[in-house]
């Protein structure tokens, strides 16, 4: 202290009361209360921005009590003090610094700096350089805390001297590259300024307020100014403790690292909770016990995992919470929109199209353009349809099939194309702004409305980022538009978005803010080791030992700081008020957490007791509730269908209720992740080729496998191109190839069958049957007639992966549970009791018999399964008149049931095989409240 | 004295953790710094328990003299007392953040974090969690699938070729699904052996050649016709002839890789049955139950056919294997570029980064670091002197390889100041399928002790502190029967088991209990018997912990459900709960977002309509799909999923029954999960739905329920009562499905092959050997699984299986029958009598037990008390107003976005800044402004403004007047806190310093379209300026009416009075 001038003084404010009211009184101690409280000649150095805000508000209150107002002191945190001092035209922005780093990193001969890059990167592209640049920039920032450059470290760190010497070479290159652009490196600017800092005009005294850890470089600055104006350091601690603080009010690590912390009534104030959610719930319960907690209760959050849980818990208790840190803009809608636009500019994959289509700003834009005619729901439904049918790879492919006409789909796709055109035209950021302007069109924001003002704020923030990029772009040529998008999106995403504080909301404050909280009751949640105090372990550049050597912030300094803060918070609330500390034993993921070791800074004899107390098992806060049902589903009532497709019979037999869901309610999911043909599409494609062949008169008598094959493949290609365009995606190529293989093999069989006398009688023959008043519709793939015998044969194409014989797919063996089922479902075949599961082929024969009453009929599958050698004609010789009669009875009964609206009881099907599994929990029967047909 | 190196084989329940913690304490007592002890285990939970235990032990020793004496004796330092233990406790507590006590994965990640550039990473990395890993995979696949203009690229075409080869014989109609399966099954194998020459390479599989792969085979058609010709005149029965004809007919049809038709299989099997004779040239093969004698040419022909068949199949498998490799390589190439290089790694990736290169170790401690070694001491701030490894049987060879050099350094430290300690139980090696390598234990022990005998001591712990005598008797009866094991499973599995086996004993000789093997007819019977036993024992009412163990998660879930439903027993499946989808509420919310994003999804729409959410939507006036889409998508867009979901949950909440705590808990979990999703940066509904469907929560540990879980999950846990009703299954020595990966002694991969079916692979000695070894491994693991299951119980254990029949495959039931006996007789459990064949202990053991109240449930309620009557009151909290920022009105998007609009704002700020520097007109210094580099336009506007004739009153010096420039103020007005700044105020004062007049000037840099619009501007700013007027009134003590207030238009040099309002 001897080197400091006489006008350097320390003041101690006792722990009788919280700090804030005391420090305001202290600042106002010379005020005569007549005029305004004028502190404008005072420069106050405080720990955080938020503390400055608190101070100014408290001063305003203090003055208001006397009907006066305040000319506030200027306030700075150590960091803003340096930043403001070094701010001058020509100092490089962070963006410029990073871009220069990128340039250096991509230019330099990495072999010349082997100690920095022992392994050469695979690709020295922009994103590699950017990531390294961020690391190096951050490293510069850390070193500047104590006014150091890379070269200084090389001189002081023998352990990795080579590495730092080479880093210093890189840093020189970076500084030189900036200088060449007429820019000064910002860290160097800070260091230079701090060497001869200029006191801001009008400052007549400096007060350092409860600053447990000023940056060393800022301390240098203040020390220099101490020779010009009085400097007063105000420490929140009883004067009796003055020996444990240094000149600048910093708690001394040697003392605070070892001393005991007095925590009164420890076991009722310190609470172990199971996890952050439990901490949140307890905290919310405390808050709820106050009729109006704002001002009475201060909340501190040390573990960020608690914050969002606490917001939820408080909102559950109808208490508003406010996070002064705000959330990053990454979480904002505009960011999502911009990301989708960036992706659209880069490559308009269909996925990007689908994402952008669901950005509500884009939808609003389409509505605007369509002058109210546009339906978002129709657009999205059509878009999903288009995807399911055409599997477009990208916007171009989508436009090719859906871009015409005046459907919402076409409007949407064309809108997107227009945006893309803007994005592809000219340079970033102007093109991005243009595209965005297009999206927002004529929209206006009412600044009085929180949400709209927020939107306007977001756009402004983006504009600022764009401007910065625009100005950097002139000096940093050679980056592509997509590099710039990446840069701008990162920068924008990291910006904080401060939301408006709802009236009466409780601040969720960080640990370091709490000293400035004046509420009598403080609750700190997340009081776990690693958060309070935090610790850096295993840094890739600055391990603890090196930090120590370099005079940077160390873990032990953090410990001392937090020990002091805890002591001050606790002591200032013993006379009135209360401090509760909550910690969790597990993270949300179930990993163990430890209580802060500050809680173990007790007198030695108490230590074992503390350990036992803090580490005792905690009971579950939330008792494990037995499963219970929130509600039963009440399916919409619709009249029984008047007509069903043939496939409906299989569905009804499998489960009448699911039949109702599919065939009456027409429930069918949309799969937004569809990238390839599903089983049905695949079948349809193969069918189409086979159908065309059957309809080609020239091929009627063809027995040449090659000719048939060629025709089928050509037909397949035609259908494929019509539906999917010429450029197929990789999965489609594979699938079409598979279809070709299968059709090729089928050709051989068809040729053989023709040679054996089977001629096509009908192809894709549609029929209608009326059973018990129910209209049944079907389409028979193919009916052949034998030239010799005149017999007719029905063939159904099957493209399922495994070839199943018809008998097996229509009947299954009965089991004891079937005893209760009606007799018409059962039939005895070859002495064994069977149950009908499908009636497709029998229904075909029944329809055919009406048309050709005299012909001998048979039927079977023409399988196109995946395994080589499996492809075959699978006939159903066992389907004799008796079996057909049984099938007819069964079909009539099913038709009757359907007409009568019998859709209950359901079958219980294992969830893995049930396409409706999402609806049911613990049994279909229990899940649904079914009261019969209306 | 530092304790010596030790490897401990610790049987189940024998106090592994006790041994580990004692070791830790012993090291501390010997003076080791806590941060120099590396203690690694497999799960973070175990690491946490380990830490808690050490602290607990030290704390107790520090406060209880007796305990201290016991501990001191245990660690061989009888002189230590509570005071010394207190010192050690303080040491550990203070070192907390520096302790190296955690998981292997975490330890590796920490090293990699410290050396990113050295390991070829670009800075920091993140570990991919499940959802993220899947998302990455989808992204990579999408990238591979994408379509370049002008058709597929070269790499894509190669990929398709590879895929075709890999799936030969089956035409896949769905690629994406199949690829997913491929990656699930084979990705790890690929990463372990990326070199193409290891895959499907006959030269590596059969270095000496393979008898089936003939260089120049005879033409099949020729051989067939030759054989056919020879058989034609033979006297064969009709059936026999049919067999041969079918065989000959099928042969040309068959393609290798496709399933073997029965016609071929039949004769192939029968020929192989007498293969040596066939090779010799004289054989009798059985066809249709009668022998057919074959002569030399017939044999030669048949042999050719068989060789052709097997050779073709093997050849096909080799090709498929190479195809699989090429598919994986294609995927990997993209994956590596798109994922790993961007700093997204799996734990496996992290470990692979640290694997030593072929020329020596990678990691070294500081002093010993040589060229290319990573010297970890400096970067990780410390030295690693002592190594404690837990669950060593689960350590993989890869993990060991990473650590080996560091541990070598400790073991071979000439000063003897460092040490190595590990503990494990090869009998509990149930993770070999996850690369756990139980053979390492003995290998390492032998390795060190061969170099220098006695380097590492081996210890055995056999006394169980967990299980009572009845349990131990059963365990010994089953696993101590080396003869039976050898009989059932001859080979290495049993040999290894028997070598490590030591008869167990119970350290709790007086613990009353019961162990029995009971029988039931079928699955329903086993479940029912489980319920029956639980009712009889009623463990919960007696305060006993009870678990029911199963082999699979699915059974656990089903069984827990059954217990609750049929038995009314509070049971939970300790499996992962799909909290978002396992209940109607969550399902409905997912339907809501799906319906909003995909209005054409009739499934979601109808689902929604079936739930009470429909009425909620109606009440919000969202009656059409259009309305729902617009509203919900806008909500998600603006607020993310967490808030959106919370919004709708709040509205649906009143529908829930008042006592439906379960659904409310799920609602809470749903929103919490949505928050996790939001944090991933995901924004699309499709991703959200996928995330939520996979999201699982593990229930916090709770007392007072019967826990149903898999045996794997139960490892490391103990319960008073254990029921094992799920021990059914096929033979236990069955090789796991998947590629055959043959490893050499040193664990390097020798070859990889997609194995053909048994009929083929059993014909080849190399392949057969591989399969036998794999079966041995599986068998050992299966024994370990049963051992783990049977050693969880403290007091009572009930095995429930089907009645052991005469011929069953070599499964658990058979093992039990041969060791415990299979003659059924009535057995009692309390009042219940069932059928079983073995028991020990007291069948009425539970009747006298009452453990309730023994354990304190914890869960002390927090006093939610108010602060003690506060001695002080905080400053009131007020709403905040910022007059200058308080913008109102409407702005257009175009205006907001315009880049030149921003320039205007910036221009305005600069003009303001210059004007703030001007005290009086004469003090203006435009030259200084120019010199500072202020843009010309700014300077000239400021200059013109100061010089404007109309504005003389603003700038001219006035005697006795004080000027405020850009002056900040804070005030409380109308109950609000207002902070702002005046642009310029002139205050006149009398001699006493009292203000006599004041004028407020507010600068506006906006351009007026024409001077007549001044009135508009005044109206717009009137509220703001009148607020300034009131503030100035307070600050000066003048009444507001005395304060003049004017707008100054800097560009036009105009002023306009603002009337008092
Ligand atoms: S054919 Fe394709 S683009 Fe046309 S309406 Fe159908 S799905 Fe849409």
**Predicted local distance difference test score (pLDDT) of residue B856:** 40
A201 touches chain B (CB under 8 A): no
**Predicted local distance difference test score (pLDDT) of residue B858:** 41
Give the Å distances, CA to CA, from A301 to A277, A279, A325, B96: 13, 10, 12, 21
Residue nearest to atom 8 of ligand 1 (CA): A386
Out of B561, B877, B890, name the one closest to residue A295 (CB).
B877
Residue for token digits 């101590």?
Answer: B480
Quote the DSSP letter at residue A919: G
Residue A529 to residue B380, Cβ atoms within 8 A: no
In 3D, which of A615, A593, A511 has the Cα closest to residue B97?
A593
Q: Which residues pair with A231 in a beta bridge?
A: A8, A206
pLDDT tens-digit profile of A568-579?
Answer: 999 999 888 899
Task: Label the pairing between strands A37-38 and A270-273.
Answer: unpaired
Residue A69 to residue B598, Cβ atoms within 8 A: no
- Please, which pLDDT band fits residue B857 given cuts at 50, 70 and 90? very low
| Dist CA B990 CA B975 (whole Å) | 32
A722 CB under 6 A from ligand 1? no
**Predicted local distance difference test score (pLDDT) of residue B855:** 42
Q: What is the average pLDDT across B709-727?
A: 93
Q: What is the average pLDDT across B501-510?
A: 92
List of chain B residues whose C-beta atoms are within 8 Å of the C-beta of residue A444: 890-893
Q: How far is the CA of A724 from the centre of ligand 1 (A)?
A: 11
pLDDT tens-digit profile of A833-857?
Answer: 999 999 999 999 999 999 999 889 9
Q: How far is the CA of A413 from the centre of ligand 1 (A)?
A: 13
Residue for token digits 């994406």?
Answer: B176
User: Looking at chain B, which residue has its C-alpha nearest residue A537?
Assistant: B380
Residue nearest to atom 7 of ligand 1 (CA): A386
Q: What is the average pLDDT across B328-336?
A: 91
Q: Which atom of ligand 1 has the smallest separation from the CA of A388?
A: 7
pLDDT tens-digit profile of B420-441?
Answer: 999 999 999 998 888 888 889 9
**Predicted local distance difference test score (pLDDT) of residue B171:** 64
| Dist CA A47 CA A45 (whole Å) | 7
| Dist CA A680 CA B212 (whole Å) | 43
pLDDT tens-digit profile of A233-284?
Answer: 999 999 999 999 999 999 999 999 999 999 988 998 999 998 898 899 999 9
- Please, which pLDDT band fits residue B864 given cuts at 50, 70 and 90? very low
- Please, which pLDDT band fits residue B872 given cuts at 50, 70 and 90? low
Residue A866 to residue B171, Cβ atoms within 8 A: yes
**Predicted local distance difference test score (pLDDT) of residue B888:** 61
Residue nearest to atom 6 of ligand 1 (CA): A386
Residue B893 to residue A443, Cβ atoms within 8 A: yes
**Predicted local distance difference test score (pLDDT) of residue B521:** 85
Contact between B937 and B907 under an 8 Å Cβ cutoff? The reply is: yes
Q: How far is the CA of A412 from the centre of ligand 1 (A)?
A: 14
pLDDT tens-digit profile of A381-393?
Answer: 999 999 999 999 8
Contact between B108 and B38 under an 8 Å Cβ cutoff? The reply is: no
- The percentage of residues in chain A with a pLDDT greater than 90, rounded to a whole number, is 71
Calculate how close chain B gets to A364, using CA atoms only, in Å.
9
Dihedral sign for Cα B140, B141, B142, B147, please: positive
Judged by DSSP in three states, A798 sits in: strand
Residue A584, pLDDT above cutoff 90: yes
A386 CB under 6 A from ligand 1? yes
Chain A stretch 867-886, residues whose beta carbon is closer than 8 A to a beta carbon of chain B: 867-870
List of chain B residues whose C-beta atoms are within 8 Å of the C-beta of residue A615: 52, 55-56
Give the Å distances, CA to CA, from A907 to A272, A655, A826: 49, 5, 17
In 3D, which of A366, A298, A796 has the Cα closest to residue A505?
A298
Give the Å distances, CA to CA, from A748 to A754, A782, A784, B249: 10, 17, 16, 18
Out of B594, B637, B660, name the one closest to residue A628 (CB).
B660
Quote the DSSP letter at residue B1039: -
Give the Å distances, CA to CA, from B959 to B359, B920, B967, B986, B994: 89, 11, 20, 11, 15
List of chain B residues whose C-beta atoms are within 8 Å of the C-beta of residue A347: 146
At residue A672's C-alpha, the angle toward residues A671 and A676, to 5°, is 75
Residue B859, pLDDT above cutoff 50: no
| Dist CA B903 CA A759 (whole Å) | 81
Residue B175 to residue A735, Cβ atoms within 8 A: yes
- Please, which pLDDT band fits residue A870 given cuts at 50, 70 and 90? low
Out of A297, A361, A447, name the one closest to residue B887 (CB).
A447
- Please, which pLDDT band fits residue B890 given cuts at 50, 70 and 90? confident
A471 touches chain B (CB under 8 A): no
Query: Is the model more confident about B129 or about B110?
Result: B110
Q: How far is the CA of A715 from the centre of ligand 1 (A)?
A: 20
Out of B170, B581, B888, name the one closest to residue A448 (CB).
B888
pLDDT tens-digit profile of B63-114?
Answer: 999 999 999 999 999 999 999 999 999 999 999 989 999 999 999 999 999 9
Q: Which atom of ligand 1 has the smallest separation from the CA of A386?
A: 7
- Please, which pLDDT band fits residue B367 given cuts at 50, 70 and 90? low
Q: How far is the CA of A682 from the centre of ligand 1 (A)?
A: 17
Query: Is the model more confident about A704 or about B902?
Result: A704
Task: Label the pairing between strands A496-497 and B961-973.
Answer: unpaired
Out of A69, A393, A451, name the one closest to residue B147 (CB).
A393
**Predicted local distance difference test score (pLDDT) of residue B261:** 87
**Predicted local distance difference test score (pLDDT) of residue B862:** 46
What are B640's two structure tokens? Answer: 């993310």
List of chain B residues whose C-beta atoms are within 8 Å of the C-beta of residue A446: 889-890
What average pLDDT is seen over chain A? 91
- Please, which pLDDT band fits residue B860 given cuts at 50, 70 and 90? very low
Burial, B746: exposed, middle or buried (Cβ in 10 Å; 0-12, 13-18, 19+)?
exposed
What average pLDDT is seen over chain B? 89
Looking at A300-309, A363-372, B610-619, which range is the least confident one?
Answer: A363-372
pLDDT tens-digit profile of A36-94?
Answer: 999 999 999 999 999 999 999 999 999 999 999 999 999 999 999 999 988 888 899 99
pLDDT tens-digit profile of B176-231?
Answer: 888 888 888 898 889 989 999 999 999 999 999 998 988 788 888 899 999 999 98
Contact between A837 and A653 under an 8 Å Cβ cutoff? The reply is: yes
H/E stretch holding A687: helix A679-695
**Predicted local distance difference test score (pLDDT) of residue B1017:** 84
User: Looking at chain A, which residue has its C-alpha nearest residue B896?
Assistant: A460
Q: Which of B41, B141, B378, B610 to mutate to test the interface with A (most CBs of A within 10 A)?
A: B610
Q: How far is the CA of A401 from the centre of ligand 1 (A)?
A: 7
- Please, which pLDDT band fits residue A176 given cuts at 50, 70 and 90? very high
Residue B883, pLDDT above cutoff 80: no
ipTM of the complex: 0.92
Q: How far is the CA of B658 from the centre of ligand 1 (A)?
A: 49
Quote the DSSP letter at residue B489: S
DSSP string, B543-595: T--EEEEESSHHHHHHHHHHHHHHH---EEE-S-B-TTTSSHHHHHHHHHHHH
Looking at A31-40, A884-893, B561-570, which range is the least confident one?
Answer: B561-570
pLDDT tens-digit profile of A486-531?
Answer: 999 999 999 998 877 888 889 999 999 999 999 999 999 999 999 9
Burial, B221: exposed, middle or buried (Cβ in 10 Å; 0-12, 13-18, 19+)?
exposed
List of chain B residues whose C-beta atoms are within 8 Å of the C-beta of residue A514: none
User: Looking at chain B, which residue has its C-alpha nearest residue A667?
Assistant: B603
Residue A672 to residue B972, Cβ atoms within 8 A: no
Q: What is the average pLDDT across B525-549?
A: 93
| Dist CA B806 CA B817 (whole Å) | 10
Judged by DSSP in three states, B970 sits in: strand
Quote the DSSP letter at residue A922: S
A385 CB under 6 A from ligand 1? yes
pLDDT tens-digit profile of B935-978?
Answer: 899 999 999 999 998 898 899 988 888 999 999 999 999 888 99
Q: How far is the CA of A389 from the centre of ligand 1 (A)?
A: 7
Q: What is the average pLDDT across B583-610?
A: 97
**Predicted local distance difference test score (pLDDT) of residue B369:** 53
Q: What is the average pLDDT across A425-440?
A: 92
Give the Å distances, CA to CA, from B821 to A269, A592, A862, B635, B680: 60, 45, 55, 67, 57
Give the Å distances, CA to CA, from B80 to B24, B52, B70, B88, B386: 15, 21, 10, 11, 21
Residue B869, pLDDT above cutoff 80: no
Q: How many CB pairs under 8 A join A and B?
A: 566
Calculate how close chain A gets to B160, using CA atoms only, in Å.
7
Quote the DSSP letter at residue A664: I
A706 CB under 6 A from ligand 1? no
A348 CB under 6 A from ligand 1? no
**Predicted local distance difference test score (pLDDT) of residue A656:** 95
- Please, which pLDDT band fits residue A2 given cuts at 50, 70 and 90? very low
């Amino acid at each position: 202290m001897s080197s400091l001038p006489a006008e350097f003084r320390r003041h101690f404010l006792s722990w009788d009361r919280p700090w804030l009211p005391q420090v305001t009184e202290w600042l106002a101690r010379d005020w005569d209360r007549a005029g305004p409280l004028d502190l404008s000649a005072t420069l106050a150095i405080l720990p955080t921005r938020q503390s400055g805000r608190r101070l100014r508000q408290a001063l305003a209150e203090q003055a208001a009590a006397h009907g006066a107002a305040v000319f506030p002191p200027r306030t700075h945190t150590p960091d803003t003090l340096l930043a403001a001092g070094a701010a001058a035209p020509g100092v490089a922005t962070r963006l410029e610094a990073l871009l220069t780093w990128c340039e250096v990193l991509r230019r330099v001969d990495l072999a010349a700096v082997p100690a920095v890059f022992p392994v050469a990167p695979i690709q020295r592209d922009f994103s590699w350089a950017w990531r390294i640049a961020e690391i190096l920039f951050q490293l510069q920032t850390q070193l500047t805390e104590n006014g150091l450059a890379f070269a200084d470290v090389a001189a002081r760190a023998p352990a990795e001297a080579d590495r730092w010497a080479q880093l210093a070479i890189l840093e020189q290159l970076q500084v030189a590259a900036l200088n060449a652009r007429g820019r000064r490196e910002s860290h160097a600017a800070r260091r230079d300024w701090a060497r001869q800092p200029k006191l801001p005009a009008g400052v007549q005294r400096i007060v350092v307020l409860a600053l447990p850890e000023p940056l060393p470089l800022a301390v240098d600055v203040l020390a220099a100014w101490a020779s010009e104006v009085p400097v007063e350091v105000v420490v929140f601690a009883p004067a009796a403790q003055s020996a444990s603080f240094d000149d600048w009010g910093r708690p001394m690590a040697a003392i605070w690292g070892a001393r005991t912390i007095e925590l009164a009534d420890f076991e009722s104030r310190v609470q172990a909770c199971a996890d952050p959610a439990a901490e949140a719930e307890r905290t919310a319960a405390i808050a709820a016990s106050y009729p109006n907690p704002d001002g009475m209760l201060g909340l501190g959050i040390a573990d960020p995992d608690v914050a969002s849980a606490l917001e939820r818990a408080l909102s559950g208790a109808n208490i508003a919470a406010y996070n002064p840190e705000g959330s990053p803009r990454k979480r904002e809608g505009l960011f999502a929109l911009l990301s989708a636009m960036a992706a659209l500019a880069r490559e308009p994959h269909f996925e990007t199209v689908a994402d952008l289509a669901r950005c509500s700003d884009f939808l609003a834009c389409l509505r605007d353009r369509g002058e109210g005619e546009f339906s978002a729901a129709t657009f999205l439904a059509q878009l999903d349809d288009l995807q399911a049918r055409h599997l477009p790879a990208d916007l171009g492919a989508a436009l090719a099939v859906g871009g015409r006409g005046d459907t919402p789909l076409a409007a949407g796709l064309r809108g997107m194309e227009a945006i893309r055109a803007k994005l592809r035209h000219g340079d970033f950021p102007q093109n991005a702004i243009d595209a965005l302007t297009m999206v927002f069109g004529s929209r206006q924001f009412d600044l009085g409305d929180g949400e709209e003002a927020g939107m306007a704020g977001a756009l402004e923030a983006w504009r600022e980022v764009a401007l910065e990029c625009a100005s950097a772009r002139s000096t940093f040529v050679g980056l592509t538009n997509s590099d710039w998008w990446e840069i701008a999106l990162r920068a924008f995403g990291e910006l904080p978005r401060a939301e408006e504080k709802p009236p009466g909301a409780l601040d969720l404050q960080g640990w370091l803010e709490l000293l400035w909280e004046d509420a009598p009751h403080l609750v700190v949640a997340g009081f776990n080791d690693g958060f309070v105090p935090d610790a850096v372990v295993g840094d890739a550049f600055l391990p603890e030992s090196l930090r120590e050597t370099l005079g940077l912030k160390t873990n032990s300094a953090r410990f001392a700081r937090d020990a002091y803060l805890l002591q001050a918070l606790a002591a200032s609330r013993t006379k009135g008020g209360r401090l509760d500390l909550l910690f969790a034993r597990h993270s949300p993921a179930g990993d163990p957490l430890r209580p802060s070791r500050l809680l173990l800074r007790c007198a030695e004899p108490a230590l074992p007791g503390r350990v036992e107390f803090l580490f005792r098992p905690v009971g579950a806060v939330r008792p494990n509730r037995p499963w219970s049902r929130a509600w039963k589903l009440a399916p919409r009532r619709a009249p029984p269908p008047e007509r069903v497709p043939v496939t409906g019979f299989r569905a009804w037999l499998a489960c009448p209720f699911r039949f109702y869901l599919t065939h009456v309610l027409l429930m069918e999911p949309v799969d937004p992740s569809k990238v390839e043909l599903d089983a049905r599409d695949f079948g349809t494609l193969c069918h189409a080729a086979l159908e065309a062949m059957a309809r080609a008169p020239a091929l009627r008598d063809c027995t040449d496998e090659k000719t048939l094959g060629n025709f089928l493949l050509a037909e397949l290609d035609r259908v494929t191109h019509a539906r999917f365009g010429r450029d197929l995606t990789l999965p489609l190529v594979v699938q079409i190839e598979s279809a070709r293989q299968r059709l090729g093999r089928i050709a051989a069989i068809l040729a053989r069958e023709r040679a054996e006398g089977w001629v096509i009688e009908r192809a894709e023959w549609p029929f209608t049957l009326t059973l018990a008043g129910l209209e049944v519709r079907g389409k028979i793939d193919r009916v052949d007639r034998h030239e010799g015998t005149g017999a007719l044969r029905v063939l159904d194409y099957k493209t399922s992966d495994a070839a199943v014989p018809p008998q097996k797919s229509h009947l299954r063996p009965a089991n004891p549970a079937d005893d209760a089922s009606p007799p018409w479902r059962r039939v005895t075949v070859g002495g064994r009791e069977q149950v009908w599961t499908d009636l497709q082929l029998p229904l075909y024969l029944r329809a055919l018999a009406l048309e050709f009453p005299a012909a001998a009929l048979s039927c079977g599958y023409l399988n196109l399964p995946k395994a080589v050698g499996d492809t075959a004609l699978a006939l159903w010789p066992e389907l004799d008149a008796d079996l057909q009669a049984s099938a007819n009875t069964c079909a009539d009964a099913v038709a009757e049931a359907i007409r009568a609206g019998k859709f209950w009881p359901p079958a219980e099907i294992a969830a893995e095989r049930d396409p409706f599994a999402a609806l049911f929990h613990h049994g279909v029967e229990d899940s649904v409240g079914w009261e019969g047909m209306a | 004295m530092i304790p010596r190196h030790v490897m401990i084989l610790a049987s189940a329940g024998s106090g592994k953790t006790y041994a580990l913690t004692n070791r830790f304490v012993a090291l501390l007592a010997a003076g080791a710094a806590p941060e120099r002890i590396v203690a690694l285990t497999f799960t973070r939970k175990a690491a946490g328990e380990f830490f808690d235990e050490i602290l607990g032990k030290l704390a107790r020793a520090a406060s209880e003299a007796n305990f201290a004496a016991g501990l001191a004796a245990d660690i061989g330092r009888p002189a230590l007392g509570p005071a010394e233990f207190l010192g050690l406790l303080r040491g550990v507590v203070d070192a907390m953040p520096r302790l190296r006590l955690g998981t292997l994965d975490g330890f590796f990640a920490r090293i990699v974090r410290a050396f990113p550039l050295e390991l070829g990473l670009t800075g920091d990395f993140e570990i991919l969690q499940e959802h993220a890993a899947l998302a990455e995979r989808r992204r990579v696949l999408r990238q591979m699938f994408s379509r370049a203009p002008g058709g597929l690229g070269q790499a894509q075409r190669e990929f398709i070729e590879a895929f075709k080869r890999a799936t030969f014989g089956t035409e896949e109609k769905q690629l994406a699904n199949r690829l997913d399966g491929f990656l699930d099954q084979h990705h790890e194998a690929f990463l372990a052996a990326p070199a193409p020459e290891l895959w499907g390479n006959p030269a590596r599989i059969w270095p000496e050649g393979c008898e089936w792969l003939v260089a120049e085979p005879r033409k099949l058609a020729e051989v067939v016709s030759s054989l056919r010709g020879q058989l034609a005149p033979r006297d064969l029965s009709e059936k026999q002839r049919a067999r041969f004809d079918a065989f000959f007919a099928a042969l040309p049809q068959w393609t290798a890789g496709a399933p073997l038709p029965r016609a071929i299989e039949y004769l192939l099997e029968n020929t192989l049955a007498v293969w040596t004779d066939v090779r010799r040239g004289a054989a009798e093969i059985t066809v249709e139950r009668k022998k057919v004698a074959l002569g030399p040419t017939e044999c030669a022909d048949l042999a050719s056919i068989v060789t052709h068949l097997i050779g073709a199949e093997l050849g096909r498998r080799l090709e498929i294997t190479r195809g699989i490799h090429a598919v994986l390589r294609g995927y990997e190439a993209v994956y590596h570029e798109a994922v790993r290089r961007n700093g997204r790694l799996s734990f496996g990736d992290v470990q692979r980064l640290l694997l030593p290169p072929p020329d020596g170790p990678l990691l070294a401690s500081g002093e010993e670091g040589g060229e290319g070694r990573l010297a970890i001491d400096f970067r990780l701030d410390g030295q690693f002197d002592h190594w404690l490894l837990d669950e060593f049987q689960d350590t993989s060879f890869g993990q060991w390889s990473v650590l080996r050099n560091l541990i070598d350094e400790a073991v071979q430290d000439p000063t003897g100041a460092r040490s190595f300690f590990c503990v494990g139980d090869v009998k509990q090696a149930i993770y070999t399928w996850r690369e756990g390598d139980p053979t390492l234990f003995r290998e390492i022990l032998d390795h060190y002790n061969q170099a220098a005998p006695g380097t590492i001591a081996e210890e055995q712990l056999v006394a169980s502190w967990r299980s009572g005598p009845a349990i131990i008797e059963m365990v010994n009866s089953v696993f101590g029967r080396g003869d039976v094991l050898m009989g059932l499973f001859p080979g290495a599995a049993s040999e290894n088991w028997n070598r490590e086996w030591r008869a167990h004993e119970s350290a709790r000789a007086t613990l009353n209990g019961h162990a029995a093997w009971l029988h039931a007819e079928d699955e329903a019977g086993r479940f029912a018997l489980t319920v029956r036993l639980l009712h009889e024992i009623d463990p919960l009412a007696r305060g006993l912990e009870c678990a029911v163990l199963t082999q699979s998660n699915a059974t656990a879930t089903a069984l827990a459900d059954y217990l609750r439903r049929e038995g009314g027993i509070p049971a939970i499946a300790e499996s992962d709960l799909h909290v978002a989808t396992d209940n109607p509420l969550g399902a409905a919310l997912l339907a809501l977002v799906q319906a909003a994003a995909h209005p054409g999804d009739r499934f979601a729409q109808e689902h929604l309509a079936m739930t009470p959410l429909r009425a909620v939507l109606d009440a919000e006036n969202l009656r059409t799909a259009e309305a729902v889409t617009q509203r919900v998508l806008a909500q998600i867009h603006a607020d993310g999923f967490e808030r959106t979901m919370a919004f709708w949950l709040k509205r649906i909440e009143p529908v829930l029954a008042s006592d439906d705590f379960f659904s409310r808990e799920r609602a809470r979990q749903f929103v919490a999960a949505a928050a996790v999703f939001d944090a991933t940066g995901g924004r699309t509904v499709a991703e959200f739905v996928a995330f939520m469907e996979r999201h699982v929560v593990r229930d916090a540990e709770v007392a007072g329920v019967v826990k149903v879980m898999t045996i794997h999950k139960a490892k490391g846990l103990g319960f008073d009562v254990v029921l094992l009703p799920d021990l059914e299954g096929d033979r236990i020595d069955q090789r796991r499905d998947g590629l055959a990966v043959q490893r050499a002694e040193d664990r390097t991969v020798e070859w990889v092959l997609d194995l053909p079916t048994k009929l083929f692979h059993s014909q080849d000695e190399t392949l057969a050997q591989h399969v036998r070894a794999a079966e041995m491994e599986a068998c050992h693991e299966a024994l370990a699984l049963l051992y783990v299951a049977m050693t969880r119980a403290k007091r009572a254990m009930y095995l429930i299986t089907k009645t052991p029949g005469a011929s069953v495959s070599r499964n658990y039931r058979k093992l039990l029958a041969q060791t415990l006996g299979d003659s059924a007789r009535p057995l009692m459990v309390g009042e219940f009598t069932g059928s079983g064949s073995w028991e020990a202990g007291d069948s009425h053991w539970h009747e006298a037990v009452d453990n309730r109240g023994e354990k304190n449930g914890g869960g002390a309620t927090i006093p939610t008390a108010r602060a003690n009557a506060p001695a002080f009151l905080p400053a009131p909290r007020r709403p905040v107003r910022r007059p200058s920022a308080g913008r109102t009105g409407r702005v257009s998007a175009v205006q907001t976005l315009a880049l030149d609009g921003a320039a205007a704002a910036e221009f305005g700020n600069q003009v303001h800044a210059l004007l703030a520097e001007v005290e009086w007109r004469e003090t203006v210094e435009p030259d200084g402004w120019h010199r500072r580099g202020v843009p010309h336009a700014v300077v000239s506007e400021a200059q013109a403004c100061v010089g404007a004739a109309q504005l003389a009153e603003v700038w001219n010096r006035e005697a006795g007047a004080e000027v405020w420039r850009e002056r900040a103020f804070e005030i409380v007005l109308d109950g609000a806190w207002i902070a702002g700044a005046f642009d310029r105020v002139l205050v006149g004062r009398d001699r006493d310093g009292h203000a006599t007049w004041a004028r407020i000037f507010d600068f506006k840099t906006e351009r007026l379209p024409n001077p007549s619009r001044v009135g508009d501007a005044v109206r717009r700013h009137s509220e703001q300026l009148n607020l300034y007027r009131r503030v100035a009134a307070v600050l000066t003590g003048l009444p507001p009416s005395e304060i003049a207030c004017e707008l100054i238009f800097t560009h036009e040099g105009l002023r306009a009075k603002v009337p008092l309002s």
